Amino acid sequence: MSKELMKEDWIEAFSILFDYCKIQKNEKTIILKENSSRSLNFELAKYVLNKQSIEFQEIKLNSPSSKIEPIVKSTGSSTILNGNKNALQALTQSDFIIDLTKEGLMHSKETKEILSSGARIMSISDEHPEILSRLKPDPSLKEIVKNAVAKCRKSESMEVTCEWGTNLNIDMLNTNTVGVWGWTDRPGTLAHWPGGLVVSFPNKSSVNGKLVFKPGDMNLTFKRYFESEVIFIIENDYVVDIQGNGTDALLMKSYLKGFNDKDAYATSHVGWGLNKKSRYEALTMYDKNDLNGTELRALAGSFLFSIGANEFAGRYTEGHFDLPVMGCTIKLDNETVVDNGKTV
């Protein structure tokens, strides 16, 4: 792709990202992609690396075919490396990995081994560069996210409530909390772009209560706003009952049932968005093929509840829902960190 077809904003956004990642010219840098990777983002990454005189290797793999019936989308758990020892070895021997896989390596089985080798992974979400350039890495987010992470790590409990009936309790002891501000410059770490959120991966049997979704909340696997009420009853991490008579409940029940996997119903992570540049209406402004919804995961003040893979609890599954909920109050021990959908 010629430079003439790339907007200056797009080039600037990728340049800022790689600057913040502090890529050194003597580091081994790899671009990991697959057949279905977004070609625009690949061309932009190549162009900027060349412009910065950074040598890199490309690894292109065949997109995996799902061996299960449901359509797998928006999992953060790419299976692209399953059984691919040569690619995995190359990644573990690298310093910096630009992850352009469709689903991303965040929750993949192989990610722990890659990070343990000292490599750092920069996952660029499968978003159109117009979205990425609007959410350029913001240095002010780093301290905001780090402060939220520190609060989570020292807390013993998280309570999530709202006026329409949500009452969720999470045991935060032995919970793994990570923050993502949108770039990584430390060995053995992973970040995704866009960033601006804090998420905790609860230990086994740590999540209990009721979670109510109302019209206007978001289902990012389906890339749609809820149009009817859905209620999750959660016992020891697992959604044991999905209540609701509308299309939203029917879709979720059908989709999860298709995996035939109990862990598809288990809590993956909980947390809240901190990026004030994220736009609530984004799902209505782009074609579904042009966005992955990462922007909405970081929406400031939203409570992010996810079911599916939780590598810290030893659960891996291709079933996954990321579900930002608006208007909640989140307390860590007795400290309010989100008040009726507004960050404190």
Strand ranges in 125-162 using DSSP code E only, listed in sequence order: 157-161
CA distance 141 to 126: 21
For residue 208, with 0-12 CB atoms within 10 Å meaning exposed, 13-18 middle and 19 or more buried, which class applies? middle
Per-residue pLDDT, 26: 95
Please give the Cα distance from 37 to 42 (Å, whole number). 8
Q: What is the pLDDT of residues 189-237, one digit of tens each?
A: 999 999 999 999 999 999 999 999 999 999 999 999 999 999 999 999 9
| CA pair distance 140, 18, nearest whole angstrom | 17
Among candidates 127, 146, 147, 149, which has minimal Cα distance to 136? 127
At residue 68, does pLDDT exceed 70? no
Categorize the per-residue pLDDT at 108 as very low, low, confident or very high, splitting at 50, 70 and 90. confident
Q: How far is CA 295 from CA 41, 85, 253, 322, 326, in A?
A: 16, 33, 25, 12, 14
Can you give the pLDDT at residue 3?
65
Spatial neighbors of 214 by CB under 8 A, at least 6 apart, are 164, 226, 229, 326, 327
Question: Percentage of residues in the chain with pLDDT exceeding 90?
Answer: 86
Q: Domains in the chain, start-ordered, CATH in brackets?
A: 3-134 (3.40.50.2300), 140-343 (no CATH)
Q: If DSSP codes are grouped into helix, strand and coil, which group holds residue 157?
A: strand
Length of the chain counted residue by residue = 344
What's the mean pLDDT in 239-248? 97
Residue 319 has pLDDT above 90, yes or no: no
Confidence tier at 74 by pLDDT (50, 70, 90): low
On average, the pLDDT of the chain sits at 94
Q: Given a cut of 90, is residue 252 above it in pLDDT?
A: yes
| Res. 20: pLDDT tops 80 | yes
